[in-house]
């Protein structure tokens, strides 16, 4: 279940971004929370579309304390018509 959380979060974000008008810019930077209570913070997206951030999952069966994990992602180039992006999380457990 833990591995499905980033996919679900990405899917929800992508669906939300899809509803934007063509004249609006998709701004990913900020704090995001999914239905399961996991949190993701995306830092500023640079001009190349690269971004970093932190992901804190609320879903775990591990007895260890869950820590914020670094994430790395990329948003589409601005001339493309659909706002798309992807990211990976490097899980960190204490």
Domains of the chain in sequence order: 25-89 (2.40.128.30)
**How far is CA 40 from each of CA 23, 33, 79, rounded to the nearest angstrom?**
26, 6, 26
CB-CB contact of 40 with 72 (8 Å)? no
User: Which pTM was predicted?
Assistant: 0.65
**How far is CA 50 from each of CA 10, 34, 36, 55, 67, rounded to the nearest angstrom?**
16, 22, 26, 16, 23
Closest CA to 69 of 57, 85, 87, 51: 57
How deeply is 28 buried, as exposed, middle or buried, from its count of CB atoms within 10 A (0-12, 13-18, 19+)? buried
Going by pLDDT thresholds of 50, 70 and 90, the confidence category of residue 18 is very low
Q: What is the pLDDT of residues 29-86, one digit of tens each?
A: 999 999 999 999 999 999 888 999 999 988 877 777 788 999 999 988 666 777 788 9
């Amino acid at each position: 279940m833990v591995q499905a959380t980033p996919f679900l979060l990405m899917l929800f974000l992508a669906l939300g971004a899809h509803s934007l008008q063509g004249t609006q810019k998709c701004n990913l930077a900020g704090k995001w929370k999914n239905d399961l209570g996991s949190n993701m913070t995306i830092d500023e997206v640079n001009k190349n579309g690269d971004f970093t951030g932190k992901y804190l999952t609320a879903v775990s069966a591990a007895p260890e304390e869950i820590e914020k994990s670094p994430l790395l992602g990329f948003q589409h180039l601005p001339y493309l018509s659909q706002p798309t992006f992807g990211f990976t999380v490097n899980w960190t457990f204490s």
